[in-house]
């Protein structure tokens, strides 16, 4: 099959959608398909044919059409996330402009900013993209439920974009020392960009309460603080987090790694005692940081999903707490400290859970869905 992938971000740019698009394309290529990628300037790949545009808007329609005409794809797959396309409305009309079977993968259904007081138009324009696509893929159950009314829709999860094997001589003690944690320190870890929806405020409050109880604790934030593709939209919140850390006296208990390479992310994650991901919208397949922690068999405390996700099981592979609650995070950590066998159980459960997010399976299911769409053309 000859496949064209359109994505608003792609390596070396940071961002989960770009990483997903790269891994999916390379995996499908490895399965014998011809895959081409169209993204913005700065995109590079040693293994995939890449085309680029300078920005997303009406001016990009002609270059996209030329790219499609040149390669005569069997199917186009748009990897959709609002922020990655410069908040442009144009991308929502691509299925009508490109006369090739068109599948949209929704990484989220958040409404784009169009102009002040756009109101219901923001909802309509995302639904328009879904309705005009020949098939839609949701990467999570929340969006899958909203798209289930469409005749050709499915849910296919994302996998971890961090997959490097740990070195044969890996020693977690060395990585704990990098963040100022010895063997007696409870090392909590957070991975991913700093956004309000990640529940950082509640995590900080819980850490402060645990320290007040006399627990020797360190909190490490792994990775870059913000996504450059988002145009600095999260910067005010990052500043707010910095101020809050100072206000509650956590400066000496928090370590920021800054952006680190994939192999370092793996080693930091594997060194922490507990990965803490208190998403305000609950644990979900949409969270690449959660997928990465699962990939490395981490003990994970996160928040209860908003919808039923059969693979997420409390006490079996995740420790689930209510959203918007520093007290519940604190109590969850305390329980795991007092019953540390649960940490071992959670690590074993995460290793079993990661089979659900195998990239070969994800690529195969995606190809199968493309074929379903093509068979109905």
Contacts of 126 (CB under 8 A, 6+ apart): 82, 92, 109, 110, 111, 112
Fold of 2-159+358-375: Rossmann fold (3.40.50)
Q: Phi/psi of residue 5, each to 5°?
A: -110, 125
Residues 120-176 have pLDDT tens digits of: 445 667 889 999 999 999 999 999 998 999 989 999 999 998 999 999 999 999 999
Three-state secondary structure call for residue 201 = helix
Residues in the chain, how many? 377
Fold of 172-357: Rossmann fold (3.40.50)
Same fold, 2-159+358-375 and 172-357: yes
Task: Determine the pLDDT at residue 228.
Answer: 58
Task: Determine the pLDDT at residue 124.
Answer: 65
What 8-state DSSP symbol labels residue 296?
T
Residues 190-242 have pLDDT tens digits of: 999 999 999 999 999 999 999 999 999 999 999 988 765 555 567 889 999 99
Integer Cα distance of 181 and 159 in angstroms = 30
Residues 309-357 have pLDDT tens digits of: 999 999 999 999 999 999 999 999 999 999 999 999 999 999 999 999 9
Token digits of residue 137: 């893929």
Domain boundaries in the chain?
2-159+358-375, 172-357
Residues 55-68 have pLDDT tens digits of: 888 889 999 999 99
The mean of the pLDDT values for the chain is 92
What 8-state DSSP symbol labels residue 223?
B
Nearest to 42 by CA among 12, 8, 18, 14: 12
Integer Cα distance of 133 and 91 in angstroms = 12
Task: Determine the pLDDT at residue 48.
Answer: 97
Contact 224, 238 (CB under 8 A): no
Token digits of residue 267: 């080693």
**pLDDT beyond 90 at 104:** yes
Q: Whole-prediction pTM value?
A: 0.82
Residue 374: CA atoms inside 13 Å, Cβ hemisphere, count?
Answer: 15
């Amino acid at each position: 099959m000859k496949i064209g992938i359109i994505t608003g971000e792609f390596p070396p740019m940071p961002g989960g959608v770009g990483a997903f698009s790269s891994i999916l394309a390379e995996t499908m290529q490895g399965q014998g398909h011809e895959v081409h990628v169209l993204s913005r300037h700065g995109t590079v790949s040693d293994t995939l044919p890449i085309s680029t545009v300078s920005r997303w808007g009406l001016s990009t329609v002609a270059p996209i059409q030329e790219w499609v005409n040149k390669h005569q794809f069997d199917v186009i797959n748009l990897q959709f996330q609002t922020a990655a396309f410069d908040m442009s409305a144009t991308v929502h009309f691509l299925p009508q402009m490109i006369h090739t079977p068109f599948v949209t993968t929704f990484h989220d259904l958040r409404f784009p900013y169009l102009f002040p007081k756009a109101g219901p138009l923001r909802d309509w324009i995302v639904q328009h993209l879904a309705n005009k696509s020949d098939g839609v893929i949701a990467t999570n159950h929340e969006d899958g439920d909203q798209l289930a009314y469409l005749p050709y829709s499915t849910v296919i999860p994302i996998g971890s974009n961090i997959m490097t094997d740990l070195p044969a001589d890996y020693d977690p003690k060395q990585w704990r020392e990098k963040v100022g944690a010895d063997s007696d320190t409870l090392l909590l870890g957070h991975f991913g960009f700093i956004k309000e929806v990640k529940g950082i405020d509640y995590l900080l409050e819980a850490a402060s309460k645990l320290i007040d109880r006399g627990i020797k604790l360190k909190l490490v934030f792994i990775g870059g603080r913000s996504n450059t593709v988002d145009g600095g939209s999260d910067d005010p919140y990052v500043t707010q987090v910095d101020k809050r850390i100072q206000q509650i006296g956590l400066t000496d208990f928090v370590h920021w790694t800054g952006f680190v390479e994939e192999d370092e992310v793996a080693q930091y994650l594997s060194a922490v005692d507990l990965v803490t991901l208190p998403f305000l919208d609950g644990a979900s397949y949409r969270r690449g940081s959660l997928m990465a922690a699962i990939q490395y068999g981490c003990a994970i405390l996160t928040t209860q999903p908003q919808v039923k996700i059969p693979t997420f099981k409390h006490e079996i592979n995740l420790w689930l707490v209510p959203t918007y609650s520093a007290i519940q995070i604190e109590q969850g950590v305390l329980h795991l400290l007092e019953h540390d066998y649960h940490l071992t159980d959670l690590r074993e459960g995460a290793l079993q859970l990661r089979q659900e997010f195998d990239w070969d399976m994800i690529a195969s299911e995606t190809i199968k869905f493309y074929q379903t769409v093509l068979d109905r053309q």
